[in-house]
Amino acid sequence: MSCFRGDPNFCPECGNVLPLPGVSDTVRCPRCSFRIPVTEFSGQEVRSVVVFNPAEESQVSLRDEEGSELKGPVIDRRCSRCNKEGMIYHTRQMRSADEGQTVFFTCTHCRFQEKEDS
């Protein structure tokens, strides 16, 4: 008895994504021993959609206490001070060129700043 039902793109035995049909007359699950004839995929159409976040939602512009503007992309990073999600980041090359750059993070809520050397 199969554990999974529904979408023919997934293995009905283990739930793994099945590879696209190729030159072989069967499609074999790479995770378990399940096999299905290629003819089962006859007439099916594969479509994929990529949805990007709107630029307005991924960029923030804030003013700090001195009146200077903070700009940059917002990432899902938790602030170590206020524990809320959402930080602006920017990078700088602070050391020699053969070393990694430094990433500066600013919380969008409390404006706490932290850095990370890579």
Tell how strand 35-37 and strand 85-92 pair up. Answer: unpaired
Question: Is 82 part of any known ligand binding site?
Answer: yes
Closest Cα to residue 117, out of 105, 79, 77? 105
Question: Is 3 part of any known ligand binding site?
Answer: no
Angle (CA) 85 57 106, round 5°? 40
Contacts of 62 (CB under 8 A, 6+ apart): 69, 70, 71, 88, 106, 108, 111
Residues in the chain: 118
Question: Is 11 part of any known ligand binding site?
Answer: yes
Binding residues for Zn(2+): 11, 14, 29, 32, 79, 82, 107, 110
Binding residues: 11, 14, 29, 32, 79, 82, 107, 110
